[in-house]
């Protein structure tokens, strides 16, 4: 009996240490507000030479932790920081991206059962939109760098993630995908 208790304690401690302690609870996850834009820069310490020129690049810096701004809804949920996501327009042209209410449309995906799948809300509640949110496009100037923060998500299953930028999340040919990174997921958030 003592051996079982010791094994359970080791397993629990290992899972706790391997996952960030300040992750978003699944019931608070909302894909419309998953990321928060915090900075727009023309020049950055972010190394742009590693990316081919004439491309729009989305890159997740999982080990680079930033604090959420005071106005962030994550602060009210007890989440103080998240990992950094960089969107780099390494082209010589300004690009127009679709947005919703001024936010660039970006979704988190998980690799589950040999397929990339979108995340959904914990509880599928009906949401109404007035339709005015999508009228404008967001212009990303040439060589501009946008910085975002995303929280880790609390879960019991280790998984591979990425972010995807674009209007059609089902067709990867029409979207820009970030690098892959590891994290945890609650299976109730996976769209089937």
Q: What is the pLDDT of residues 71-86, one digit of tens each?
A: 888 888 889 999 999 9
Q: How far apart are CA 95 and CA 43, in angstroms?
A: 17
Residue 74: Cβ within 10 Å count: 20
| Cα–chain center distance at 73 | 15
What does the pLDDT look like over 19-71, one tens digit per residue?
445 898 898 888 878 888 887 555 444 454 555 667 888 999 999 999 988 88
For residue 109, give the DSSP letter. E
pTM for the model: 0.77
């Amino acid at each position: 009996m003592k051996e079982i208790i010791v094994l359970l304690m080791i397993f629990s401690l290992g899972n706790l240490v391997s996952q960030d302690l300040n992750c978003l609870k699944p019931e608070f996850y909302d894909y419309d507000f998953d990321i928060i834009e915090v900075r727009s820069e023309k020049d950055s310490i972010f190394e742009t030479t590693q990316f081919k020129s004439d491309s729009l690049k989305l890159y997740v810096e999982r080990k680079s932790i930033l604090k959420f701004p005071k106005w962030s809804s994550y602060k009210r949920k007890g989440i103080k920081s998240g990992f950094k996501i960089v969107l780099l327009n390494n082209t010589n042209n300004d690009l127009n991206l679709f947005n919703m209410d001024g936010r660039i449309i970006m979704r988190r995906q998980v690799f589950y059962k040999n397929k990339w799948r979108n995340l959904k809300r914990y509880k599928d509640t009906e949401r109404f939109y007035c339709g005015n949110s999508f009228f404008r496009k967001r212009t990303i100037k040439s060589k501009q760098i946008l910085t975002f923060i995303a929280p880790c998500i609390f879960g019991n299953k280790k998984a591979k993630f990425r972010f995807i930028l674009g209007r059609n999340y089902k067709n990867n040919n029409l979207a820009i995908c970030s690098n892959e990174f590891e994290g945890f997921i609650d299976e109730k958030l996976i769209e089937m």
